[in-house]
Each structure stands twice: as structure tokens, then as C-alpha cells.
């Protein structure tokens, strides 16, 4: 279905945000009247929420509903924008404010007096779908067509959007898979320099990265589908308390649905963009499918709540769940992580099993995100929701973390069931490495948005949790050393014996060493220009001198063995007694 984006959008709006409001919130009479016809396609549904002056802020809607003098109808007046299926829909889920104040949902049939639609919008993509305004001019809506309760239309609007966001991600996955297929086929058929462009390293890299992103997205979609199926399974739509059961189930995974919406739409955009790039100039013409894929993909980051709004919703919903006691032990976990940050430890080697190593990465990522989120809440307080630059970065951490964990769980399950995981494992490892880089970057940017003075020390913890991952990646052929400071022993961690007090003094008195502690001098010898220094508190590139100035006691270093050899030789030339 996702192969035809316009039809997928039309179908998705009908079965999702068009039909689910009645299923989740309708009276028994409303369900019996409308659901059978909606299920067979005899009637097509649409969802009318946005207005010209209220898109992401639907509660500021200006469409009004007033009760008629005879009490039989609500008279609706206003215009709704961007209504998918408006050109052929038979009923609309419309939101208006009763008496200009009480935000309420209504079931509005196309044939009701006063209901009309505007012209088709000229869109960038999904041109095969219908998008029009819904015009309400004293539209007569029977009082029995009030959906849910007066003044509680926001329950309807926001409730069904969770499932809509999940469905959007599933559709994005299907569209991205088709785009990858088209890109791969073209790369194999297109010849340059006497061979298919699929043979070239950069094209291989593009195709591989697309496949990796799709593996992660597919893992998150199926994982979340299973979670949703578990909470919705067994609900009888005709039961007296069916609506309450539906609402309870729908409220269980709003964060995951928001994550999927953002991740799915952005993966689709990435794949669409790379598909066009692989096609080169031909991709920019309408004669090849890449152009349509590119145009059709862009809307997914806008509707069902913009990706920016969904990022804000993630934190908002997490806070709501915490207040309801659905995240037990959260504050205790944050406290334990802060205590761990105050007890620096030497990085430990990764487990032999790559999946066990990735499991450690996930645990470290959770610690880093919890540490930053907890400290942000402590520093900013109730204003956190208004600090969008912080919330946005925390949301991006959650997205990468959820996708990484989903890919890991899928690969682990394949392994447990005896499947060959060579390719899934490779994709999971690459995605995990990239996700950890992204999480660290977003965490640091979030910290920069609220930390002052000593609060900047929180960055050290983010680096600590990431340092072990860097080492585990074997990104450098390195030895991992821990230099504990001039008053601590070096012999367990460095490649030279512990110097005597006299030798230590001699080092400190030497003109070349005087400004530095002994351990810092050793670091400078072992890490000339171009060496990689990974400090578990400050991250990549921090010098020993900067660490000393910040009065940090522990400095983790990753050094290429050839630099260690250089250091040993220079030290031996300077103080032979160290090597006796």
C-alpha cells in the first residue's frame, strides 16, 4: 500500500483518524450507525482539526458551535484547513468550541445543511489525494452527533493521533523500502566508467546506510506494533466500558508513537533524498520515480503533528506518566546515576559477544539520558516544558535510544531462534555506534542550554558513559590507560614503573616539565599532535592540562601503541633509572 503514497494517505486517514474517534469515543448508537459503513467503504471518513490560524495549537480554534433555539441542532460556523479526503468524504470528525469556549468533537455528515468544501489545494506531493477546506456556514449538526463530551474534544483529537502516528511510521517504512529497491535497481543498471555505479564505494555506502536505517525503523515499528496489540487485544467494541478500555489502551504508548512518527518520517526523507542522489540528474526529472518519492515523502514530517510538536510531546508525556506513577523508581535511578558519576571508574573491556557489548551501550545511553534529563528538571524546574531547545535535544536522545534498543532486541531474538545473524548483527552494530554518537552530541547540547558553573561537570558523565563505547568500537588500535594523578600509583595502568619520590621531584624541577604534573608530562610525551585523547569526563580531544585546570582527578587516555613506544624511548633517554 505504501508503494502509492497518495492512496496510502487517503486510506490511512479513513481507517485511522477518521474512523477511530467513533470507535474509541462514540456512543453505542453512533457506532452502530457509522462503523459498519465505514468498515465496508460505503462511507469515507475525514478528520477536520486544523484551521488557518491554528495548526499546532488546535485548542485555539475559532470554529464555533451554538445550540439552536429548538435544542435539536448545534450550528457550526468556521473553516477547517488541510482536510485529507475532503473531496470525497461522507463524514467529517469536526472540532468546534461550544459557545466559543468548550472545545468539542462532532460527527458531521457531508449532506448536513450548511456543509461544503473548497477547491483542491495545489500540493507539492501526494497529488493523488484530496486536500480541501471544509466550510461550515450554520451547519446543522444533530445534538446526538456530539462525539464524547462537551468540552472534552481534546481527548478525541489527541487520543486518536497516537495510533495515527504509529500508522504513519508503518507507511513510511513501506515507502522507504520501495525507494531503496528502486535506488538499488538503478545503481545496478546505470553504468559509468565501464561498470555499474553500484560497484563504487560511495554508492555502496549510501545503499548500506539506507538499509541500516530501515532495519532500525522496521525493528521499532514491529516492536511497537506488538506492544499496541497487547493492550488493545480482547477489547469488545460493544461492551459497556469499551470506550474506557480503548482510551486506557491508547494512553499506554504515546511516547513510543511520537518517537515512531518522527523517526519514521525522517528515515523516509533520508532514503528519498539518497535515492534521488543516486539517480543523479535523472532523479530530478519526473520521468524517473525518484522525484515523486522525494515530493511525496516531505509531508510526513508535517501532518499528524509536526516533528517539532512530537518532540515536545515526548517529554510532556513522560512527565505525565511519571506523575501517574507509571515510571516507578525513576527518581531513584537518576539519583544512583548521579552517585555513579561522582565515583569515576576505569573503563572495562567490552564483552566478547558483540550483542552483549551493544547491550552495555544501551545501558550507558540510558544512564546518560537520565542524568541529563534529571539535572535539567532540577535546574529549570516547571519551566522545562517551555525550554524547547533542551526538550528537543532530549527527544532526539530518546529517539536514537529507542531505535537502537529495538534493533538490538530484534537481532538478539533472531540469534536465540537459531537464525544466521551475520547481516542483522552488522547493521545493529553500525546503527548502535552512530546512535551513541548522536546521543552524546544531543546530550551535550542540552547541557549547554541550562548548565552554568559547576553544572557543566555533568558533561563529564556523558563522556564517561560514551568513552566505554568508543573503546568497544575499536575505532583506534589503542591501549587504554588510566593515569590517576601524581600522588597515585601508575604501575598498574601505565607502561613504566612507579617513579620514586626523588625521581618525581626531578621531573617536576626539570624546565620542560615544571608547569605540569608527572602524569600530565607522560601524557604529553605519549600523545603528540594528532594522537587521540579520550577523557571520560570531557570527551574527545581534551588535553591533560585542561583536565588539570578543572581539578579532575582521573584522566582516561586512548593512545596508539606507536605513541607509547615513542614515549618509552623519550623517557628512557631522559631518565634511564625508570627502566632499570
Which residues are annotated as catalytic? 304
Closest CA to 3 of 179, 167, 128, 162: 179
Which of 168, 156, 145, 297 lies closest to 221, judged by CA? 168
Q: CA gyration radius for the chain?
A: 29
Q: Are 283 and 276 in contact (CB under 8 A)?
A: yes
Task: Convert 70-113 into a string of H (helix), E (strand) and C (coil).
Answer: CCCEEEEEEEEEEEECCCCCCEEEEEEEECCCEEEEEEEECCCC
- Name the DSSP letter for residue 482: E
Consecutive H or E run containing 200? none
How does DSSP assign 125-139, residue by residue?
S-TTS-EEEEEEEEE
Look at residues 291, 298, 262, 281 and name the one whose alpha carbon lies nearest to residue 179: 291
Q: 226: how many CB neighbours lie within 10 A of its CB? A: 9
What is the separation of C-alpha 503 from the centre of its chain, rounded to a whole number of angstroms?
A: 54
What's the CA angle centered on 254, arms 171 and 230, to 5 degrees?
Answer: 80
- Provide the angle, in degrees to the nearest 10, between the axes of the packed helices 388-416 and 201-232: 90
Amino acid at each position: 500500500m505504501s508503494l502509492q503514497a497518495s492512496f496510502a494517505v487517503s486510506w490511512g486517514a479513513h481507517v485511522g483518524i477518521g474512523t477511530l474517534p467513533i470507535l474509541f469515543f462514540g456512543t453505542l448508537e453512533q457506532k452502530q450507525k457509522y462503523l459498519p459503513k465505514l468498515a465496508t467503504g460505503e462511507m469515507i471518513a475525514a478528520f477536520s482539526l486544523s484551521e488557518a490560524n491554528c495548526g499546532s495549537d488546535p485548542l485555539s480554534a475559532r470554529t464555533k458551535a451554538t445550540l439552536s433555539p429548538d435544542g435539536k441542532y448545534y450550528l457550526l460556523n468556521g473553516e477547517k484547513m488541510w482536510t485529507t479526503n475532503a473531496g470525497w468524504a461522507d463524514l467529517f470528525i469536526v472540532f468546534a468550541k461550544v459557545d466559543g469556549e468548550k472545545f468539542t468533537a462532532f460527527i458531521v455528515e457531508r449532506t448536513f445543511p450548511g456543509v461544503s468544501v473548497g477547491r483542491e489545494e495545489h500540493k507539492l506531493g501526494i497529488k493523488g489525494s484530496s486536500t480541501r477546506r471544509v466550510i461550515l456556514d450554520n451547519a446543522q449538526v444533530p445534538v446526538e452527533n456530539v462525539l464524547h463530551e462537551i468540552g472534552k474534544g481534546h481527548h478525541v483529537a489527541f487520543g486518536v493521533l497516537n495510533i495515527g502516528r504509529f500508522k504513519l511510521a508503518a507507511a513510511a517504512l513501506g515507502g522507504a523500502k520501495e525507494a531503496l529497491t528502486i535506488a538499488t535497481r538503478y545503481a545496478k543498471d546505470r553504468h559509468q566508467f565501464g561498470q555499474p555505479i553500484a560497484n563504487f564505494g560511495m554508492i555502496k555506502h549510501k545503499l548500506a546506510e539506507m538499509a541500516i536505517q530501515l532495519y532500525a525503523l522496521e525493528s521499532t515499528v514491529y516492536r511497537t506494533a506488538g506492544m499496541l496489540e497487547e493492550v488493545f487485544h480482547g477489547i469488545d467494541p460493544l461492551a459497556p466500558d469499551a470506550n474506557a478500555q480503548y482510551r486506557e489502551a491508547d494512553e499506554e504508548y504515546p511516547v513510543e508513537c511520537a518517537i515512531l512518527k518522527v523517526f519514521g518520517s525522517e528515515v523516509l526523507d533520508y532514503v528519498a533524498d539518497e535515492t534521488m542522489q543516486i539517480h543523479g540528474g535523472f532523479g530530478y526529472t519526473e520521468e524517473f520515480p525518484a522525484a515523486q518519492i522525494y515530493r511525496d515523502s516531505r509531508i510526513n514530517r508535517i501532518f499528524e503533528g509536526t516533528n517539532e510538536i512530537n518532540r515536545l510531546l515526548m517529554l510532556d508525556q513522560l512527565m505525565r506518566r511519571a506523575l501517574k506513577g507509571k515510571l516507578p523508581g525513576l527518581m531513584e535511578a537518576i539519583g544512583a546515576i548521579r552517585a555513579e558519576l561522582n565515583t569515576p571508574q576505569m573503563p572495562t573491556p567490552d564483552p566478547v559477544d558483540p550483542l552483549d557489548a551493544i547491550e552495555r551501550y544501551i545501558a550507558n545511553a540510558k544512564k546518560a539520558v537520565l542524568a541529563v534529563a534529571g539535572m535539567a528538571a532540577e535546574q529549570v524546574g516547571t519551566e522545562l516544558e517551555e525550554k524547547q531547545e533542551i526538550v528537543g535535544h532530549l527527544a532526539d536522545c530518546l529517539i536514537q535510544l529507542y531505535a537502537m534498543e529495538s534493533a538490538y532486541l530484534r537481532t538478539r531474538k533472531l540469534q536465540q531462534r537459531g537464525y544466521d545473524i551475520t547481516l542483522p548483527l552488522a547493521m545493529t552494530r553500525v546503527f548502535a555506534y552512530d546512535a551513541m554518537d548522536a546521543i552524546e552530541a544531543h546530550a551535550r547540547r542540552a547541557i549547554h542550554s541550562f548548565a552554568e558553573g559547576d553544572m557543566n561537570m555533568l558533561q563529564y558523565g556523558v563522556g564517561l558513559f560514551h568513552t566505554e563505547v568508543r573503546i568497544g568500537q575499536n575505532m583506534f588500535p589503542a591501549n587504554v590507560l588510566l593515569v590517576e594523578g601524581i600522588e597515585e600509583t601508575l604501575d598498574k595502568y601505565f607502561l613504566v614503573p612507579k617513579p620514586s619520590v626523588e625521581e618525581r621531584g626531578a621531573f617536576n624541577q626539570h624546565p620542560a616539565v615544571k608547569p605540569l604534573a608527572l602524569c600530565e608530562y607522560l601524557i604529553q610525551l605519549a600523545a603528540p599532535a594528532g594522537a587521540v585523547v579520550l577523557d571520560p569526563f570531557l570527551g574527545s580531544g581534551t588535553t591533560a592540562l585542561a583536565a588539570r585546570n578543572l581539578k579532575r582527578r582521573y584522566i582516561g587516555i586512548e593512545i596508539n601503541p606507536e605513541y607509547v613506544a615513542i614515549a618509552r624511548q623519550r623517557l628512557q633517554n631522559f631518565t634511564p633509572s625508570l627502566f632499570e
